[in-house]
Amino acid sequence: MSTIRITKQFKFETGHALYGYDGKCKNVHGHSYKLSVTVSGKPIEDQTHVKFGMVIDFGDLKKIVNEEIVDVFDHATVFNKNTPHLELANELITRGHHVILVDYQPTSEMMVIDFAEKITDRLPENIKLHAIKLQETDSSFAEWFASEN
């Protein structure tokens, strides 16, 4: 049976700030992110299996990505917890804002690495994460490929 890749796309809104950056992105701002997740595997051959012919049910992939990424990051503000932004983050938290503290600079590049780890940990053994594309703007995105990692 052939190995097939399938892709599911997601959207979420997230704010962030890049501590120490020398441009506008040092300020708190947000993006309408588009996330594409591509996995690979062999379609189920057992004709009695409820998911016969599928690599993975798109709904199952959606559940994983929503629980690990979309539901967590949507309408949140992300800060690197190892910077003075921690003080701002704590103030926002006390005021009831949804803040995520990460141990990396919250760039698209670092976020795709984080997302790849989170998704990989949840995939069934027979399904492999092939690629992730995180689009920050219409013309800017970061990609992660399993073959390069």
Instruction: From the candidates 75, 91, 97, 117, give the one annotated as an active-site residue.
Output: 75
Q: Which of 16, 68, 85, 136 is catalytic?
A: 136
Main-chain dihedrals φ then ψ at residue 118, nearest 5 degrees: -65, -45
In one-letter notation, the amino acid at residue 46 is: D
Q: Which position among 25, 31, 98, 143 bears the catalytic label?
A: 25
75 assigned to active site? yes
29 included as an active-site residue:
no
136 belongs to the catalytic site: yes
What is the chain's length?
A: 149
Catalytic residues: 25, 75, 136
